[in-house]
C-alpha cells in the first residue's frame, strides 16, 4: 500500500512539474541553405540567450518554464550573421503546452491556436492601419492641414481601438503589454490606471510602463493652475541657475524643453524666435531648457544656440532628468507657459507651431 501511495505521489509530482512548461519543436524548412556552424538560440526580450541547441537533421527543440507574460525570440545564428540580419528568426510567447513550428529564411509558421499567432495577427492589423494611413496621406495636398490632421486622428483612433481590444482579450499575457505600448502616450492618467487595473500585475511593473505612469502622475501634479516646481542647472556660461530665477518674477515665461539632436525641437525654433522677438519685454520672456543631452555637458546645445541664433536665456541640465521628471515630460519639444505669479497657465500643443505667438499674445494681453 505504501509503495502504491509513493508511486502515486511521484506521478503527481511529475505532472505538477510539467504543467507549467512549454515544448517547442521547430523544423527548418530550408535547412540545406543554412551556413556551416549554424546554431539555434532562444533569446529573451532583451536579446540575452536563454538556451541554445544544435540543429539536427533540419530540426531542433526548446523546452522550459512557461511564462506567457514575456516574449522570446527563436533565431538561428552563424559566424557571418550580422546583428541586423533578421533571417531565420521568429517570435515566441512561451505559454504552457507543446507547439510545432516551421522556420525558413524569410518566414515562420506555428499552426493552431496560440498566443504567438494571436500577437502576430495583432501586429499585422496594426501595420495594415499604418500602411493605409501612409497611402492616403501621400494624396493629401501640402496645404490641406485640416484634412491631414483629421486623417491622423482617425488613424490613431483605429490603432487605439485595436490595441484596447487586444488588451481586453489578453489582459494577463504579453499581448496586453505589447498593445499598451502602442497607446500609452495617448491616454491620460485615469485611463492608464483603468487599463492597468485589469491587466496582470507584470504589465504595471514593467520598467517602461512604470516610467510613463510616473510621468503622467507628475504631469497631473504640474497641470494648468498648479504652482511651478523648481530645478537647477547651469547657464551657457557655466553659472549656477534655477528655474525660479525666471519664473514667478512678475513676467509671463514660455519655457521650451529641447535638445540639440531633436528634429522637431529645431523645427519649432523659428516660431519661438518670432514670438520672443515680437512679444519679449517687461510682460513676457522665453526660457530654454536644454535636456537629455547625450554627451552630458551641453556642448552641442551651445553650438545649436549659435547656429539657430537662440538669443533668449537658457538653462543647461546635461543628462540630468530631474526637470523632465518633475514636469512629466515624455517627449520634446514640450512648451509650458508660466503666469507672472509662477503658476502653470498652459502646456501642450496649443503653444506649438504657427499659432504659438497669437495664442500667447491673446493670453498676456487679457
Please name which of 323, 350, 363 lies closest in space to residue 228, comparing C-alpha atoms.
323
> Quick one: 253 exposed, middle or buried, by C-beta within 10 A (0-12, 13-18, 19+)?
buried
Q: Which three cell numbers stand for residue 171?
A: 489582459
The phi and psi torsions of 59 (rounded to 5 degrees) equal: -150, 160
- Residue 197: how many CB atoms within 10 A of its CB? 9
Q: How far apart are CA 30 and CA 117, in angstroms?
A: 21
3-state DSSP assignment of residue 296:
coil
Q: How far apart are CA 290 and CA 236, in angstroms?
A: 10
Axis-axis angle for helices 299-308, 263-279 (nearest 10): 50
Compute mean pLDDT per 10 residues along the chain, 366 residues long, and list them: 43 49 95 90 95 95 97 94 88 97 95 96 97 94 87 95 97 98 94 97 96 95 97 96 98 97 95 96 97 89 96 96 94 96 93 92 91
Q: How far apart are CA 291 and CA 259, in angstroms?
A: 5
> Quick one: 109 exposed, middle or buried, by C-beta within 10 A (0-12, 13-18, 19+)?
middle
* Cross-strand partners of 237: none
Residues of 165-178 as b/e, b for ≥16 C-beta within 10 angstroms? Answer: ebbeebbebbbbbb
Q: Which three cell numbers stand for residue 197?
A: 487595473
Residues 258-309 pLDDT 10s: 999 999 999 999 999 999 999 999 999 999 999 999 888 899 999 999 999 9
Please name which of 326, 310, 313 lies closest in space to residue 247, comparing C-alpha atoms.
313
What is the C-alpha radius of gyration for the chain, rounded to an integer number of angstroms?
Answer: 27
Q: How far apart are CA 347 and CA 364, in angstroms?
A: 15
pLDDT of residue 13: 40
pLDDT of residue 31: 86
Domains and CATH numbers, the chain: 17-109 (2.60.40.10), 115-221 (no CATH), 232-364 (3.40.30.10)
pLDDT of residue 11: 40
Q: Which three cell numbers stand for residue 209?
A: 510602463
- Residue 203: how many CB atoms within 10 A of its CB? 24
pLDDT of residue 33: 87
Rounded to the nearest 5 degrees, what angle is found at the Cα of 344, between the Cα atoms of 340 and 348?
125
pTM higher than 0.85: no
Q: How far is CA 245 from CA 293, 314, 358, in A?
A: 22, 11, 26
pLDDT of residue 19: 65
Amino acid at each position: 500500500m505504501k509503495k502504491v501511495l509513493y508511486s502515486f505521489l511521484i506521478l503527481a509530482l511529475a505532472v505538477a512539474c510539467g504543467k507549467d512548461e512549454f515544448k517547442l519543436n521547430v523544423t527548418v524548412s530550408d535547412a540545406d541553405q543554412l551556413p556551416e556552424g549554424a546554431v539555434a538560440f532562444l533569446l529573451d526580450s532583451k536579446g540575452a540567450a536563454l538556451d541554445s541547441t544544435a540543429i539536427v537533421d533540419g530540426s531542433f527543440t526548446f523546452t522550459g518554464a512557461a511564462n506567457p507574460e514575456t516574449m522570446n525570440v527563436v533565431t538561428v545564428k552563424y559566424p557571418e550573421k550580422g546583428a541586423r540580419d533578421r533571417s531565420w528568426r521568429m517570435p515566441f510567447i512561451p505559454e504552457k503546452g507543446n507547439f510545432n513550428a516551421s522556420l525558413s529564411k524569410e518566414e515562420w509558421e506555428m499552426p493552431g491556436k496560440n498566443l504567438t499567432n494571436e500577437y502576430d495577427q495583432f501586429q499585422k492589423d496594426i501595420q495594415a492601419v499604418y500602411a493605409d494611413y501612409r497611402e492616403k496621406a501621400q494624396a493629401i495636398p501640402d496645404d490641406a492641414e485640416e484634412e491631414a490632421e483629421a486623417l491622423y486622428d482617425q488613424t490613431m483612433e483605429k490603432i487605439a481601438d485595436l490595441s484596447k481590444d487586444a488588451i481586453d482579450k489578453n489582459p494577463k499575457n504579453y499581448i496586453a503589454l505589447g498593445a499598451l505600448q502602442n497607446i500609452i502616450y495617448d491616454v491620460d492618467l485615469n485611463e492608464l490606471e483603468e487599463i492597468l487595473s485589469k491587466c496582470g500585475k507584470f504589465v504595471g511593473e514593467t520598467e517602461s510602463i512604470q516610467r510613463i505612469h510616473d510621468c503622467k502622475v507628475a504631469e497631473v501634479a504640474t497641470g494648468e493652475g498648479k504652482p511651478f516646481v523648481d530645478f537647477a542647472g547651469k547657464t551657457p556660461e557655466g553659472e549656477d541657475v534655477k528655474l525660479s530665477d525666471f519664473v514667478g518674477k512678475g513676467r509671463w515665461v514660455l519655457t521650451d524643453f529641447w535638445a540639440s539632436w531633436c528634429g522637431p525641437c529645431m523645427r519649432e525654433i523659428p516660431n519661438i524666435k518670432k514670438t520672443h522677438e515680437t512679444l519679449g519685454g517687461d510682460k513676457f520672456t522665453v526660457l530654454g531648457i536644454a535636456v537629455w543631452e547625450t554627451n552630458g555637458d551641453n556642448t552641442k546645445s551651445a553650438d545649436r544656440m549659435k547656429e539657430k541664433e537662440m538669443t533668449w536665456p537658457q538653462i543647461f541640465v546635461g543628462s540630468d532628468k530631474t526637470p523632465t521628471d518633475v514636469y512629466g515630460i515624455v517627449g520634446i519639444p514640450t512648451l509650458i507657459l508660466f503666469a507672472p505669479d509662477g503658476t502653470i497657465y498652459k502646456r501642450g500643443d496649443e503653444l506649438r507651431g504657427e499659432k504659438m505667438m497669437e495664442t500667447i499674445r491673446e493670453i498676456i494681453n487679457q
